Amino acid sequence: MNSLTGFKSANLIGTANQDGSTNLAIFSSVIHIGASPPLVGMISRPHSVPRHTLENILATKQFTINHVNSTIFKAAHQTSARYESQSEFDATGLTAEYLQGFKAPFVKEANIKIGLSLADIIDIKINNTKLIIGQIEWVALPENIVEMDGKLNIEMANSIAISGLNTYHQTEEMERLPYAKI
């Protein structure tokens, strides 16, 4: 069932608790919600076991989204292991980076980094998941991936995709079509 919907973006969600202890988790459920205001959502699994990402977002109201790239995907995948008292940053060798006064850590090795504040959480009753919605407050990315019209060339950023729970893919743009009109 996890691979039935096809390719999804691979992202690392960075959070910290009130004491500053960091958490990092791979998510493949990040979606665009809207542009004005700039909102992004992600699905959190049922809170039937400790969900450090969700708990930290509730506590600090901040989190980061960091694109996984081909140089860090194995370390990113390892963040899905159930670390109890050790930070996934330490366990995987990824580097926590603090930018623009955010309490939540960014992943230094990521090429596209997004800082968000918690905007809303919507309970999805049918399966006890939660849609976490964040408002984009800050973005860091290489200047050379921004095209003349503002579109991001995510292939140049080396961002990758995921299918299922553990299969990673590089992408290739086929063609860019004009905005569809009648």
* Residues 14/63, Cβ–Cβ less than 8 Å: yes
Structure confidence by residue, pLDDT tens digits, 65-74:
999 999 999 9
pTM of the model: 0.94
Closest CA to 128 of 25, 52, 45: 45
pLDDT band at 51 (very low <50, low <70, confident <90, very high): confident
| Cβ-count burial 110-141 (b if 16+ within 10 Å, e if not) | bbbbbbbbbbeeeeeeeeebbbbbbbbeeebb
Q: What pairs with residue 37 in β-bridges?
A: none
* 49, pLDDT greater than 90: no
Q: What is the CATH number of domain 8-170?
A: 2.30.110.10
Candidate from 17-21, 99-103, 131-135, 165-169 with smallest mean pLDDT: 99-103
Please state the domain extents for the chain.
8-170
Q: In this predicted structure, what is the pLDDT of residue 100?
A: 81
Closest CA to 109 of 148, 64, 71: 71
Cα first-last separation, the chain:
36
Mean pLDDT for the stretch of residues 104-122: 98
Q: In this predicted structure, what is the pLDDT of residue 50?
A: 66
Which residues, including other chains, have CB under 8 Å from residue 53's CB and lie 6 or more apart? Answer: 13, 15, 23, 25, 27, 44, 63
Q: What pairs with residue 43 in β-bridges?
A: 131
